[in-house]
Structure 1
Amino acid sequence: MTRKRLCYLLSFIAYFGMPLGVPFIKSTEPYILGLPLLLFWMVLWILLGTGIMLLVHRLNPDVKAEVE
């Protein structure tokens, strides 16, 4: 797998991670770290998405070409 394809795959995961999980969460009863499950899911994917996009930025071969 090339770096560019890996960047596209990681971007796809970061973009669709939050909305694809929301329909499967049917109740707000379980609490994780004091947050209802849906709110925890959204906060988790905001943080994961940021980390994934940072990784994509570092892996992207086009960015390295622009810097040099």
Structure 2
Amino acid sequence: MVKKALIVILILLPFVQLALLPLVNRIEPIMFGLPFFHFWLLLWIIVTPLCSFGIYQMQKKDGGLE
């Protein structure tokens, strides 16, 4: 049951960040030389495939991909 809840969280996480876009649409602070908004988008470009990979690995262990 915990795995299913974690899978649901990993599925919804990238979509929730879309709702947060109006809150992060700002130039300051500068992070790694990027305006915060660009840093936020770059961060989620990296995090979203990691979420997908985590879901894949959990389903693979349970035999849910057959």
TM-score normalised by L of structure 1: 0.75
Aligned match of 1:27? 26
TM-score normalised by L of structure 2: 0.77
1:33 shift after superposition? 0.5
Stretches (4+) displaced over 3 A: none
Aligned counterparts of 2:25 and 2:5: Cα–Cα separation in 1 = 34
Q: Mapping of 1:1-68 within 5 angstroms?
A: 1-17=1-17, 19-60=18-59, 61=62, 62-63=64-65, 66=66
Unmatched 5+ stretches in structure 1: none
Aligned counterparts of 1:2 and 1:25: Cα–Cα separation in 2 = 31
The number of equivalent residue pairs is 63
- The sequence identity of aligned pairs, in percent, is 25
Unmatched 5+ stretches in structure 2: none
SS, match of residue 29 in structure 1: coil
Q: Which AA in structure 2 matches 1:14? A: P
Moved more, 26-35 or 37-46: 26-35
Q: Tell me which of the two structures has the higher relative contact order, counting C-alpha pairs closer than 8 angstroms and 6 or more residues apart.
A: 1
